[in-house]
Amino acid sequence: MSGSGRQVVISGIGLVTALGEGPEANWKALVAGESGIGPIEAYDPSPLQTRLGGEIADFDATKYATKRQLRTVNRGDRLAMAAARIALDDAGLAHKQSGGDELGYRTGLYLGGNKSLGRMEQLIEELKVIRRPDGTADLEHLARHGDVIMPPLFFVEGLPAGAVFTISQTYGIRGSSTFFAGYADAGATAIGRAMRAVRRGDADVALAGGYDDATSWWSMTLLDRLGILTTRNERGQQAYRPYDRDRSGGLPGRARRCWCWRRSRRRWRAGPGSTPRSPVTVPGTTGARRRRRTPRAAGSPGRCGVRWRTPGCRPATWATSPRTGRGPGWAT
C-alpha cells in the first residue's frame, strides 16, 4: 500500500471452530462440505427452544496454556489463547513458548468478544448450600459465609479483557493492546483497528481477532429468549441454511478467529517464495472519510451516489493465496 501508509499483509491465521483447530483442518472440512452443527451435548438443552449449535468437541486447552493460567480464564478465553498460538505459529514468528524472545513493544494485540461472566458452573455448585428446602435462597447464610462460598477467582475469570492480559503476558506483547466488547461486529472491529495500527506505523506486528462461547448454557439462554434462533431441531444440520427462503432463524457456534498482521517491506507479487499469506486494503473501516462521486455527464447512464473511501486505499479483489495455492485471499 502506498500513499498514506505502509502495505499490510496477513502472515498467519489461527482458527478454533466446530470444524477443527487450525486453518488446514477448517479448509479441508469446508471443501468437503462438512458442517459443525449438531445437537448440544455439553449440558441438557431440553429447557431451550433451540437445541442445536456448533460445539467444539474434544478441545484440550492445556496444549496452549499452563494450569495456572487456566484457573483465571473461562472457556471463551481459552479458545482465544489457542487461536492466538496457532496464528503465531502459522506466521512463523518466534515467541517465548517456541523458545524465542518476547514479541516486544512493536507488537500489538486487538481482540473483540462478548464475554460477560466467569465460569458460572462452579459458582452455581457452590451456591447450592444456601438453597432452602422450599427452593428459596437463604441470603443471611450467604452474607455470613460468602467468603467461603464464593469461588475466590470468580471475578477475575469474568474480566472482559482477561484474554488480552493473558495472551500479552504469555507472549511478551508490550505494544498497544485493546479489547472491543460486542457481538459479531467486535472481531471485525479489532481486525480493522489492528490493520490500521500497522499501516500507520504504530506497530510492526499485530495479533487480532474475535472469540466467543456462544453455545454455553448462559449464552444460549439469552439468545433463546430473543427468538432469533431457529427452532427446527428435527432437521439437524439442515436447520439453518442462510440462503433458504423458509429459514426461521440462526444458530450459534463456538469459535475463535485470529489473524497476524505484519508490515510488508515490499509490494507483494504472486509467485514461488511469497511468504505473506495475502496483502489487504480494507476500505470503509474506522477513519474512512465520505466523498461524493463526480456527477455523470448529461445523458450518460447511472446516477450520482455516495461511497465510503479510505485515503490511499485501492479497491481489493478476490484472489488465491500464493503460499498455499488456495483461497480465499485478498490482493490489491
CB 251 within 8 A of CB 35: no
Of the two residues 307 and 225, the one the predictor is more confident about is: 225
Whole-structure pTM value: 0.72
Residue tagged 465460569 (cell numbers): 119
Q: What is the pLDDT of residues 126-183, one digit of tens each?
A: 888 888 889 888 888 888 888 888 877 777 888 888 889 999 999 999 998 899 988 7
3-state secondary structure 178-236: EEEECCHHHHHHHHHHHHHHHHCCCCCEEEEEEEEECCCHHHHHHHHHHCCECCCHHHH
290 membership: H or E segment, kind and range = strand 289-292
Domain-wise residue ranges, the chain: 8-118+158-234+249-269
Quote the CA–CA distance of 207 and 215 in Å, as a whole number. Answer: 25
User: Percent of the chain having pLDDT more than 70?
Assistant: 77
**Reduced to 3 states, what is the DSSP secondary structure of residue 269?**
coil
What average pLDDT does this structure show over 191-218? 89
In terms of CATH architecture, what is 8-118+158-234+249-269? 3-Layer(aba) Sandwich (3.40)
What average pLDDT does this structure show over 77-82? 91
Of the two residues 209 and 260, the one the predictor is more confident about is: 209
Q: What is the pLDDT of residues 288-313, one digit of tens each?
A: 333 434 444 444 433 333 333 344 44
